[in-house]
Amino acid sequence: MTLQKTLFNRTFTLLCIVLILTSSILLFLLYQRYQVTSARRAEVYVIFLASQCVNPVLLEDRLQLKSLFQATKDKEVAAYVWLEHNNSVLVHTFPQGMPKGLLELRPPGSIGVLTVRWQDQHKQVFRDISVPLPAPAGGILHMGISQNQVEKTFTTLLPVTGGIILLSLAFGAALSWRMSAVITQEIKSANQALEASELKYQTLAENTYDWEFWNGPAGEAIYNSPSCERIIGYSVTELAADPDLCSKIIHPDDQQIFNQHRHTATQKHQQEELELRVTSKNGEVRWISHRCRPVFDKQGAYLGTRGSNTDITQRKELEHEISHMAFYDALTDLPNRRLLMDRLQQALVVSARNGQSGAVLFIDLDNFKKLNDRHGHDMGDLLLQQVAQRLLETVREADTVARLGGDEFVIILAGMGTEPQQAIAQTTLVGEKIIAALNEKYQLNRFDYFCSPSIGATIFNGRHTTASDLFKQADSAMYQAKAAGRNRLRFWR
């Protein structure tokens, strides 16, 4: 049964019950009123007649008695009026249409009893209401009222009462139908507006590029837009089946920041946004921009969070690429001069804090120009790439290997000891290891090639000098190595 039919049935039934009860009560009250009133009227007029018959002469005046009776008859309460004196009927009269020759039905030995019943030839019974007359008239004045009069009056009222009931029922039905029609129309309009709103929201949500979501207070999935499958590979059904799936796909390195965000998101009434990585269903790591806002009702109760996730993987890759281009050498993928200067500044700060010395090695390849002139820049670029790889394999992961440009490389060594001599000894070992590695044969496509380096070194401890001065010192030491015959290490003095 539809809501409209239910509302109609309930409203109609309620109105019918109310109308029937009201009509029944009204009918009962009317019956009681007419019954009591009719009897009361008879008594009143008997008393009235008795008060008029105070003169014995008047009792024999049938004309006056008839006049009194006529007044009673006009009130439609009396069927007869007669006077009894010393057990004799002195005068009596009957209403028009009442047959003569009535039988007096008085029980034996009822002399002095002021109750008499009369009936006509049609067995219609009349109730006698008797009132003793005051002196000097004496006697008893009787007035009869038909027992059927009340029922007749009531019967006369039945069509009117029935009509009232029928009109009430018809009015109630019409009112119920009208109310039902209005309610049905309002419900229909509300449903249409709701359907339009839902269709609009569904169209926007299901066709948006972002992953729209709504989670409940316990983190359960209330709604996820279909675009979630394009971003993470998991469908709406899978997200609804596993409430913890959204937490499981967060990259391990971003779990802490996500947990902190999820804790604070319920405490603030503002939108939170963060960028983090997720692992898709096929194992691919993707970046998303996660935005959410807590939802509260009017009483301030927390209802969950609503928000969206945007796939920013391409943007992050582009940012990484731009950053890489800004801080790394395009040929060897080593840090360039800009990143090298930043790393050296950090090394100076760390050295000042822990007292450990460091070193800067300035490396230049011997006779590199001849290779470019004889075999072209392609062979020179290939040699530089192999040199960069050998330098990375020679030093520690904490050390920095950078390319300044051309055939010039710089290495920053950290943690070389607290004493200057210890730092020099450690740097010398690293320098000799680098020379040995770079002197090994290179395979440049069509031929073998041998190359040697000239290395200049300088030691630093703390922030007693600047990065620029260290570069100059190492560069000067490198030229000393070349002047000493190349393929060797020299410290700045």
Which residues are known catalytic residues?
Answer: 407
Which sign does the torsion angle of CA 483, 485, 489, 491 carry? negative
What amino acid is encoded at 322 in this protein?
Answer: I
Q: How far apart are CA 140 and CA 322, in angstroms?
A: 131
Nearest to 384 by CA among 329, 432, 343, 337: 329
Helices (H), 366-412: 368-375, 377-394
Q: Distance between the two ends of the chain, CA-based, in angstroms?
A: 101
Q: Residue 288's beta-bridge partner residues?
A: 276, 311
Q: Which residues contact 440 (CB under 8 A, 6 or more apart)?
A: 390
User: Cα torsion at 403, 408, 409, 410 (round to 10°)?
Assistant: -100
Residue 180 CA to its chain's centroid (Å) = 30
Nearest to 141 by CA among 104, 91, 66, 103: 91
For residue 37, give the 3-state DSSP assignment.
helix
Contact between 362 and 370 under an 8 Å Cβ cutoff? The reply is no
Contact between 139 and 83 under an 8 Å Cβ cutoff? The reply is yes
